[in-house]
Amino acid sequence: MRKKVLIIIVILLLATTLFSLFFFLNKEDDKSISDLLMEEGYSDNEVSLILDKVAEEDYEDVLNLGYDKSLLGILSASGYDESKFNNYIEYYVKNKDANINDIITIINSRYDLDNYPASALLADLVKEKYYINDNVARYLDYGNSHDIGAKKIISLVNSKADLGFYSESYDSVLDDNNLILVNKFYHLKEDYMPSDLVSLGGQYNRGANSRMRKDAAEAFMKMVDAAKLDNIILYNMSAFRSYDYQDNLYNRYIKRDGKEAADKYSARPGYSEHQTGLCSDLNVIDDSFDGTDEANWLRDNAYKYGFILRFPKGKEDITGYKYEAWHYRYVGIEAAKIIYEDDITLEEYYAYYIEKISD
């Protein structure tokens, strides 16, 4: 029995000794880190900041930097995230002259930007809602050569306007259905014609080109009926146009005004979204329609029925066309609501919600 008691006492003493040694060693480690940091030139307060903001496994990275005021700026930044410490440091080492807040913003964006120099422009870009990481090189190229804000840069690049209108040509994706994009980059084949065209009649139409795709036509009639309840009279003047029709129209404009002028208000054959059967020119097809009660009603209400003002004022450099208060395009209620509320064009919507997601 005495032997057992003795063994227990020895075990307890050994355990106590080991625990004390473990505690002492860890305490000594803490002290040694503090000492090493102070030897690098950090003050007591700065050492406390480092020990509070940096995980223990990253202390060596701090020591490797030596005394560095920018490190303290990183740790003190409002957006600092301890889990991204290594990312901050790696990016900072590559961009030692950059603004610390820009570094924090760029790393916190979670985009893969390690190979791009830190800059205020890049930090502004990643904060924008419609930023697309695949386009970052073009954003920077365009932004560095044009004195415009990040939002505008993103709008122009996402819509491919930075490339120059008609500079590249892509087949419109027919599977996109109501969201099919046809503009100065995306075109339809010469023989393309929607299979579900229906004619607008009666109060809904006063033009020769009266056909629209079925869903668009039904939504158009609902919109016209709703407007009538507000004492607003709307009607179609020009909806679906075939490739040949647009070819004749475009060439007529060229003969009258010249090619450069015609390209500002008329689409080349195959590049007109009238060929989709999803749009309508309403009421009066000239600038006098702007500011009328009918135009104002459409501007404020068309999105509720799935239609968008296709070529808005102030977006000419994105759409490639002058403002047309009478031209409305059916995209469906969900897309129309986003486009209306965010004040973007179909080009911008398509780049972010269709192309980006499909990639």
Q: Measured between alpha carbons, how far is 168 from 63 in angstroms, rounded to an integer?
A: 52
Closest to 241 in 3D by CA, of 197, 204, 201: 197
Tokens 């500011």 label which residue? 291
Within a 10 A sphere around the Cβ of 96, how many other Cβ atoms? Answer: 10
Q: Which residues are catalytic?
A: 324
Would you say how long the chain is, in residues?
359
Bridge partners, residue 171, by sequence: 187
What's the token pair of residue 248?
């004749």
326 and 261 Cβ atoms separated by less than 8 Å: no
What's the token pair of residue 169?
């040509």
289 and 328 Cβ atoms separated by less than 8 Å: no
